[in-house]
Structure 1
Amino acid sequence: MEQPVQRSYTRATLDYLGAHYVGAGPETCSYTTQGIQIPMRDGIELAGDFYAPDLPDNQAPAGLILIQCCYGRGAGISFMDARVFAARGFQALLVSTRGTYGSDGIFDPGSNEQSDSQDIVVWMRQQPWYPGSFATLGPSYLGYSQWALLHDPPADCVAAVIPVGPHDHAWHAWGTGSFRLDRASWSDMMSRTDDQRGRLLLSRLSSIPGLGFLRSSELDEAVAGLPLDASLQKYFGDKAPWLFEYLKHPNVDDVYWTPRRHQIALERVKIPILLISGWYDTFTTQTMHQFKHLHGRGVNVRLVVGPWTHVQASGLHSIPEIMDFLAEHLAKTVKYNRFPAHIFITGAQEWRSMPTWPPATRPAVFYLQENSCLGSKQPTQDANPASFVFDPRSPTPSIGGNQMSVGGRVDDSAYANQSDVLTFTSEPLSEDLEVLGVPSVHLIHASDPPFADLFVRLSEVDAQGVSHNITDVYKALDPMREMSHPIRLDLQDCAHLFRVGMRVRLIVAGGSFPMYARSLGTAENRVRSDKTAPQKHIISIAGGVSQLTLPVRAAV
């Protein structure tokens, strides 16, 4: 164990500037940093840094925060997850995940966090500085590590702050029935050396307006190649072996995924939890599921959802909220009386606090109609079906949404001009329509061949005819389905005000690439085959059999 090192003038300056940017408020102290090694049960050691606030002898720290991180312990990561708290009286233990940034072992995403996190807690309890309890913190993969710890919640863990943190790797990779291709770009970053990864992470976080992950042109070509598995293998070689295990196990119930899934944590946890997400985050669906499940159990859980992408929702806009949460549930210096849900309403561009999510709503039904229309009047029984052809050799592009790279709220008007996309658009609204919750679609849908996917999006068209995305869903369809039966697809949660004069648009396509691995239109494995067949999609609309249902704000 190294000797503690006082914060330098340079780091203090960076801390001041960073705190001003994220709205952390004034510092209350300086701090020291101490490098440590933590033994695991199998003999390897994890590297970490312990941050101790410089406080008067008669003043105890505000509490201890545990952070487990696979992205290093450098300036950017350590500021957001440790230093900003240490400079305000908290102890912070920042530990590098197994196989990363000085920690021994092999990095195998999701497989070791459950046992390693328990071993870290055992070690913490033996240290002279341990205060008797702790909270956990960290976004994204750091949030996953928290859920892995909460699989078996330690009695002395008293609170958790989990921004954009998935609890289930299988759900993200294969939950739609198609492989989520951002696993390839993330694996590309994680397969680099520590130095390369650090530089790449910084460049990717600062090089695009949406603050997401960029892919190299070489990786773009690999993702576009068929067969997908072989094309990625050529790009990665012997790097990122976990990616190819992901591709081998499309069944989310496969035993391979068992150590990477922590739904049980949602059943066992009892401590206060702060969940943070963005409407355009990669893991929004899982965060909303976490809140609904925990709130339904009566757990003290608070949900904050902003108009953010993945990185934006990782804490950049939430430090004041996090500080208040830790002051209440870890330091126990204050008590706040706040509603469980704090939600940003897009369209209205305002924050609103609610006693739960989703709030009470009533259904507003829009019927798919001829001539690309959408309306409240049912079409006649002789209305003609709508159709399009999806070509896996030229897949429908992903535009905005919950991507890790170029996602967010974007102009998706281009979909209306594509022959492989159907758009159904309403007349300008005569009154405001506030949508709160989970929109759904019921479609009488057939495809030839039966091997096909559906991508469905809800968008808003403004007075100038420009369309912007609100929410969507992707689903690989069961080829054995009865095509005369309706398909119900629930879109992702949203909170959006359609103002008077705006138009509601429903977009239907057969793919969204490169967000998801395309449907090949054959019975063969979609990641191991290069055989393709165009897929004709037919949607029946006669008599109103296909419809969009919006959960709209109930009358007060």
Structure 2
Amino acid sequence: MRRCWLAFLLALATAFAGVPAASAQGGWAARAEEHPEVATETDVAIPMSDGIVLRGDVQRPADADGNPVEGRFPVLVTITAYNKAVLYRAGAGVMGDPGYFVKRGYVQVNVDARGTGSSGGSWAAFSERENTDAGEVVEWAASAERPWSSGSVGMHGPSYMGISQLFAAANRPTGLKAVFPQVPAADTYRDVVASGGALDVGFIPLWLGLVTGTGLIPPAYGPAEPDNALQMYLSRVQGATGFTAPLLLSATLGLDSAFDGPFYAERSPINVVDRIDVPTFLVGGEYDLFQRGTPMLFDRLRERGVPTKMIFGPWDHLQASTGAGVEDAGHGSLQELQLRWFDHHVRGVPDPALDSDIPPLTWHEIGSGEWHRAQDWIDEQRATTFQLSGTSLPGAPGQLVADDAEPGRSIVAPVPVSGLCTRSANQWTAGLPNAAGLGKLCADNRWNDLSGAVFETEPVAEPLRMRGPINAHLNVSTPTGNGMLSVSVSSVSPTGEVDRLTGGWQVLSHRALDESRSRYLDGQLIQPHHPFTMDAQNLLRPGQIAPIDVEVFPTGAVIPTGHKLRIAVQAYDVPHLLPTVRDLPAALSPLTIHTSPEQPSLLTLPTIPATR
């Protein structure tokens, strides 16, 4: 039974860790190994400034007999909440072979975050104290007191490990030279916890359970230090009862944790990104949990002139975390990219072709499968707006037109299974259905679209290309005063298959718009920013028609010649989002979308001119 439980945790951890892919690369070539073996010291004590001791595994270059090589080396640090014993020491290692870097002259330090794995303290994800820890771990690794450290440090890892890098970099620790975060969040509330103001029930409970479960695996030092082992288990109980359980209960009931505020601000890298000044290489996914946030980090770093690169590919969270397919971008495998980045910025190896070989932005275009290069996330695009026109009926979509929209009213019924068999379901369970071979069963969105209102263009005469965030401005009414809009933007093939490109969500009572933090292109809104605070809520009056701006998460895609651009609107997106207990009664009523010149409903895209 214990073996089965451990296997389950390993499978879950794989979804939130990374297995670097290996591939050949033309042009620049990765260095060969310099050392034949790796020497590992487990559960090394790393004291924090408040007296809590974290634990890290230190992996050093070794000779053929496994003895550590004398000398000082650049250091790579990874901080995880998923138990380093699971990620690195169980079986072949969920994180792949860290010896790739160690055998090429780096020391790898893998650290359990406070209150997880073998580390002391109580877990409170990305709290101010944990974020301080991240900087202190880097300074510990860079210290001259470490006989194996050159004082030059880099960081790498996906998801939680990527977010930790950003908070560490924002602390500006001595010795940190570069970071390589894969699929990091920017704004934890909007990116994943409560997209559009509705609760994520697909990923967040799974993630909290993963951290709690891996924390119960006994540490390697337990038999030798029984008092420490007992203290660790007590801290895990405290973390579950003092952080995880109250957080879930408060959010489910619609209390403080269901709203944005200081708790989520403290845990959002976008609020500290302006303190990051080390070279940063980002990897993002077009179907990732942090599809919204990773490009925002890229934008902010680029605006400040920080050396920054991003690869944005056709991956869900598991795929982007593992690096599977990164080589398709044309710059080498994930590990090759990391080695090149760290060799230059951490080890100090001259690489005059780095910037010419790898542009700031390399992005994949859904619909063509092509890879493109650009300088910035938003640079050449123009705002293109379509009007929703007429009435959508089952099997008879309304229209998307450039102008002269026909009046209409389209009913969106509350269908609690909407979203169940879609690409959204795979995305918001971190890619686990794809990993199990089930993703292709729900690749065609046409059946799900029957549960809502649909509007589409005529077949386009030339490719319609887009890159960036999208805004759906919908005039809506409902008899209960609340509910949720779930919007998908898709490409419809000449034979009727519907390829869901991206999606967005918005609770009606959270429709207040902060224009100062919203994004505009050519004077048109493309990325609305809603406060999502308790005091900003505003229920509609029964029957009141109100404009609702829905932030549709960014994508890079093309509607090919002969295909149609489609917007579909549902009232649910299961298993991704559900209303709080307080909002549930209102979510059981239908919504009405209004289309008319006086009350227009619009879709605004950041399109790329054909002349580019």
Residues 384-423 of structure 1 mapped to structure 2, 5 A cutoff? 384-390=408-414, 397=420, 399-401=422-424, 402-403=427-428, 404=430, 405-406=432-433, 410-418=443-451, 421-423=452-454
The answer for the alignment partner of 1:113 in structure 2 is 130
| TM-score, normalised with respect to structure 2 | 0.73
Aligned residue identity for 1:127: R
Q: Distance in 1 between matches of 2:259 and 2:603?
A: 29
Aligned residue identity for 1:103: S
Q: 2:49 aligns with which of 41, 46, 49?
A: 41
Residues 249-398 of structure 1 mapped to structure 2, 5 A cutoff? 249-250=256-257, 252-316=259-323, 317=326, 318-335=334-351, 336-337=354-355, 338-370=358-390, 371-379=396-404, 383-390=407-414, 397=420
1:541 aligns with 2:566: no
Q: Distance in 2 between matches of 1:350 and 1:445?
A: 37
| TM-score, normalised with respect to structure 1 | 0.80
The answer for the alignment partner of 1:186 in structure 2 is 207
Q: Secondary structure at 1:271's aligned position in 2?
A: coil
Aligned residue identity for 1:388: V
Deviation at 1:187, TM superposition (A): 1.6
The 1:100/1:356 distance shift into structure 2, 3 A limit, reads same
Q: Distance in 2 between matches of 1:395 and 1:79?
A: 35
Moved more, 422-431 or 237-246: 237-246
The answer for the alignment partner of 2:81 in structure 1 is 70
CA displacement 1:441-500 (0-9 Å, x = unmatched): 222222221111111110111122111110111111224458545322231111112111
Note if contact 2:123-2:243 (Cα within 8 Å) is conserved in structure 1. no
Note if contact 1:359-1:436 (Cα within 8 Å) is conserved in structure 2. no
The 1:191/1:477 distance shift into structure 2, 3 A limit, reads same
Note if contact 1:114-1:151 (Cα within 8 Å) is conserved in structure 2. no
Aligned residue identity for 1:499: P
1:103 aligns with 2:128: no
Deviation at 1:377, TM superposition (A): 4.7
The answer for the alignment partner of 1:27 in structure 2 is 33
Q: Distance in 1 between matches of 2:569 and 2:150?
A: 55
> How many equivalent pairs are there?
491
Aligned residue identity for 1:271: V
Q: Give aligned-pair identity as a percent.
A: 23
Q: Secondary structure at 1:513's aligned position in 2?
A: coil
Q: Distance in 2 between matches of 1:363 and 1:263?
A: 25
Note if contact 2:483-2:589 (Cα within 8 Å) is conserved in structure 1. yes
- RMSD over aligned CA atoms reads 3.1
Aligned residue identity for 2:80: C
The answer for the alignment partner of 1:92 in structure 2 is 108
The answer for the alignment partner of 1:13 in structure 2 is none
Q: Distance in 2 between matches of 1:456 and 1:490?
A: 9
Q: Distance in 1 between matches of 2:56 and 2:131?
A: 17
Deviation at 1:530, TM superposition (A): 6.4
1:500 aligns with 2:583: no
Q: Distance in 2 between matches of 1:197 and 1:548?
A: 53
Note if contact 2:183-2:290 (Cα within 8 Å) is conserved in structure 1. yes
CA displacement 1:212-266 (0-9 Å, x = unmatched): xxxxxxxxxxxxxxxxxxxxxxxx9999424335554336553434542343421
Note if contact 2:594-2:600 (Cα within 8 Å) is conserved in structure 1. yes
Note if contact 1:53-1:61 (Cα within 8 Å) is conserved in structure 2. no
Q: Distance in 2 between matches of 1:380 and 1:114?
A: 51
Deviation at 1:68, TM superposition (A): 0.4
Q: Secondary structure at 2:553's aligned position in 1?
A: coil
Q: Distance in 1 between matches of 2:133 and 2:242?
A: 25
The 1:155/1:46 distance shift into structure 2, 3 A limit, reads closer
Which stretches in structure 1 are left out of the alignment for 5+ residues?
Answer: 1-17, 199-235, 519-525
Deviation at 1:321, TM superposition (A): 2.0
Which stretches in structure 2 are left out of the alignment for 5+ residues?
Answer: 1-18, 220-239, 327-333, 391-395, 510-537
Q: Distance in 2 between matches of 1:20 and 1:305?
A: 16
Deviation at 1:31, TM superposition (A): 2.2
Residues 425-436 of structure 1 mapped to structure 2, 5 A cutoff? 425-436=456-467
Q: 1:53 aligns with which of 44, 56, 61?
A: 61
The 1:342/1:19 distance shift into structure 2, 3 A limit, reads closer
Q: Distance in 2 between matches of 1:487 and 1:529?
A: 18
The 1:476/1:367 distance shift into structure 2, 3 A limit, reads same
CA displacement 1:494-542 (0-9 Å, x = unmatched): 1112111111111111121220123xxxxxxx23576466222111112
